[in-house]
């Protein structure tokens, strides 16, 4: 039993409390009676799938949205936050998922922007620089204050964002999906930085859908699902499985179940293909040969930047090949147009869904027929669009593949969450009933529920007797899905493996170029 005095003591321990927050948008309740209490000096994870309402909740905390119901307390006192300035004044700072940095400014200029030390309006950067250097020393945030943002790595840009908060002496630090853009090594560094910050008494709210990271760094975790508050748990008392169940609402299988492959006839043949690089003078793909057969998943593994992107560009026709041959179902398509390849049975889930996957300002339904708009069903006499058919087709896919969006088929693609954009692309590409599916990092940036779903779809495609060429940087994904693994290193295929007979360590050696076959 707690006495009244204890309760008061506990309450005083909260740095920020969001109590019973409800925020509605037309057609959707983004936050439905959500309560989050952040203790002083803790790392508190906020877990939820894409579209669960995490971003909306943070926008409320920052005064970008006013909630219909609920209150916010800072140190036990009710506060009103009407715009980001109020949040700043309360010592709340945020590292946004998409950094708010001016590319052509120096690190120092970005840090001081908005709170510039100045005399008669003239900038006084000297003391600011000293303060920044001291802070970066104190927290192990190494970054050159005079470097331009456009010249430094993503990891350094993120450190700049963290320094921005520390420079403003913020006590409550919010990290919005901070690891999505980082390399594994940078993620480890960030975790350490977050621990240092918490140890210095900062309170951290860590928004993520990556369970491993939450388990590694957080003290407590609050879970949201479809706008509703599910609960808060101590990380020490929970497991990955339990968290994912809370997040998705059912048990999530981390293992992909699939039958052994029954490879049939050859679908794709790539013969000594060479593709030029856009970033350097050498060729990115140096005479690669392999084939993909019906009913198997061939996976290209490798560290980012070893020619996988260009390999896919060559096969799908996004870039011309320098030499070599590509055959689809025995037909030479080396110089065929993208439309021709598509009509002949090639589907492509592209690496960059914004650049090559969707027309962001089109509606969802128009995006669903991007490669089929000219077909008889969708276009009368090659002139008039059959809007009705497009609508019903799009609605069928939305239903079948569980693509969630604000206004259904007429939602603008830009306004959808990343996971649902990806689901829309997967739906479109698989439903075209291709002979060959080329999927490049199909689960990048997605939460476990969506990953599980997309993995199942890819396996189902294989089981229907299609060939699948999967390019992935995630070794877990490679091991789980593939029937055959090809490791790419510096534009060449350096090894071919059976996933059942190889371990991750061995693959790693080949990926790093330390070993090669032949």
Partner 1 sequence: MSLLLQYTLIFSSVLLLVALGGCFSEHSGIINIGLEGIMVIGALGGALVMKYLPDGTCGAAVLGLVVIGSVLFGMLYSLLLGVAAIRFKADQTLVGTAMNLLGTAAATVIVKAMNTAENASNVSSEISYIAARKKFLLVDGMEFNWFMILAVVILAVSYIVLYKTRFGLRLRSCGEHPQASDSVGINVYKMRYAGVLISGALGGLGGVVYITAGVSLWKFENGVAGFGFLALAVMIFGAWKPGRIALAAILFGFFRALSNVYTGLFGSLADGAAEITWLRNTFNFLGNVPGTIYNMLPYIISLIVLAFTSKSSAAPKAEGIPYDKGMR
Instruction: Give the interface with partner 1 as residue ranges (CB under 8 A).
Output: 84-85, 88, 94, 96, 98, 100-105, 109-110, 112-116, 118, 121-123, 164
- Supply the minimum distance, in Å, between the C-beta of residue 125 and partner 1: 10
Runs of H (alpha helix) within 325-410:
338-343, 364-368, 387-401
- Supply the minimum distance, in Å, between the C-beta of residue 418 and partner 1: 13
CB neighbourhood size of 5 (10 A):
8
- Give SS3 for 267: strand
- Supply the minimum distance, in Å, between the C-beta of residue 154 and partner 1: 16
- Supply the minimum distance, in Å, between the C-beta of residue 166 and partner 1: 14
**Torsion angles phi and psi, residue 375, rounded to 5:** -70, 155
Q: Which is nearer to partner 1, 79 or 274 (CB)?
A: 79
- Supply the minimum distance, in Å, between the C-beta of residue 122 and partner 1: 6
State the Cα angle at 155 between 151 and 161, rounded to 5°. 90
Taking the chain, what is the end-to-end CA distance rounded to the nearest angstrom?
Answer: 71
CA atoms within 13 A on the CB side of 120: 0
Q: Which is nearer to partner 1, 25 or 374 (CB)?
A: 25
Give the span between the Cα atoms of 357 and 122, in whole angstroms. Answer: 47
**Torsion angles phi and psi, residue 312, rounded to 5:** -70, -40
Q: Which is nearer to partner 1, 56 or 308 (CB)?
A: 56
Strands lying side by side in the sheet with 266-276? 283-293, 266-276, 323-328, 331-332
Cβ contacts of 181 within 8 Å, gap of 6 or more: 154, 158
Q: Which is nearer to partner 1, 413 or 451 (CB)?
A: 413
Q: Which is nearer to partner 1, 170 or 457 (CB)?
A: 170
- Supply the minimum distance, in Å, between the C-beta of residue 106 and partner 1: 10
Q: Which is nearer to partner 1, 112 or 166 (CB)?
A: 112
Q: Cα–chain-centroid distance for residue 474?
A: 13
Q: Which is nearer to partner 1, 178 or 307 (CB)?
A: 178
**Torsion angles phi and psi, residue 509, rounded to 5:** -65, -40
- Supply the minimum distance, in Å, between the C-beta of residue 249 and partner 1: 27
């Amino acid at each position: 039993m707690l006495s009244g005095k204890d309760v008061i003591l506990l309450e005083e321990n909260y740095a920020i409390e969001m109590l019973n927050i409800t925020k509605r948008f037309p057609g959707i309740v983004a936050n439905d009676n959500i309560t989050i209490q952040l203790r002083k000096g803790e790392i508190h994870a906020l877990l939820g799938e894409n579209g669960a309402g995490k971003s909306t909740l943070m926008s409320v905390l920052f005064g970008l949205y006013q909630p219909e119901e609920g209150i916010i307390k800072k140190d036990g006192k009710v506060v009103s936050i009407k715009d980001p300035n109020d949040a700043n004044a309360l010592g709340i700072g945020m590292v946004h998922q998409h950094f708010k940095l001016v590319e052509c400014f120096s690190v120092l200029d970005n840090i001081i922007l908005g709170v510039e030390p100045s005399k008669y309006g003239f900038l006084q950067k000297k003391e600011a620089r000293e303060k920044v250097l001291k802070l970066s020393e104190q927290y192990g945030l190494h970054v050159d204050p005079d470097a331009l943002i456009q010249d430094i790595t993503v990891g350094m840009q993120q450190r700049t964002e963290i320094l921005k908060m520390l420079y403003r002496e913020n006590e409550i630090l919010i990290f919005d999906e901070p690891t999505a853009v980082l390399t594994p090594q940078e993620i480890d560094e960030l975790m350490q930085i977050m621990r240092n910050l918490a140890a210095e008494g900062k309170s951290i709210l860590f928004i993520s859908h990556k369970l491993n990271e939450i388990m590694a760094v957080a003290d407590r975790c609050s879970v949201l699902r479809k706008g509703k508050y599910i609960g808060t748990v101590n990380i020490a008392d929970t497991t990955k499985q339990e968290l994912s169940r809370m997040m998705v609402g059912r048990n999530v299988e981390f293992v992909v179940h699939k039958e052994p492959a029954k490879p049939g006839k050859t679908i794709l043949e790539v013969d000594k293909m060479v593709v030029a690089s856009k970033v350097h003078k050498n060729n990115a793909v140096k005479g690669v040969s392999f084939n993909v057969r019906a009913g198997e998943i061939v996976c290209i593994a490798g560290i980012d930047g070893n020619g996988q992107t260009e390999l896919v560009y060559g096969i799908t026709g996004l870039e011309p090949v320098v030499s070599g041959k590509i055959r689809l179902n025995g037909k030479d398509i080396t110089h065929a147009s993208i439309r021709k390849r598509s009509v002949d049975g090639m589907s492509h889930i592209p690496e960059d869904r914004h650049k090559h996957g969707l027309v962001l300002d089109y509606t969802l339904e128009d995006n669903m027929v991007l490669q089929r708009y000219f077909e008889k069903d969708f276009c009368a006499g090659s002139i008039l669009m059959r809007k009705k058919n497009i609508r019903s087709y799009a609605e069928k896919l939305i239903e079948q593949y569980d693509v969630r969006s604000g206004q259904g088929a007429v939602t603008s693609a830009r306004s959808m969450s990343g996971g649902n954009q990806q689901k829309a692309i997967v739906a479109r590409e698989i439903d075209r009933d291709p002979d060959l599916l080329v999927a490049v990092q199909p689960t990048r940036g997605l939460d476990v529920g969506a990953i599980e779903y997309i993995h199942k779809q890819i396996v189902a495609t294989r089981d229907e007797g299609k060939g699948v060429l999967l390019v992935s940087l995630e070794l877990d994904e490679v091991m789980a899905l593939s029937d055959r693994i090809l490791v790419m290193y510096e534009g060449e295929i350096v090894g071919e493996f059976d996933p059942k007979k190889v371990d991750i360590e061995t693959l790693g050696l080949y990926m790093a170029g330390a070993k090669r076959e032949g």
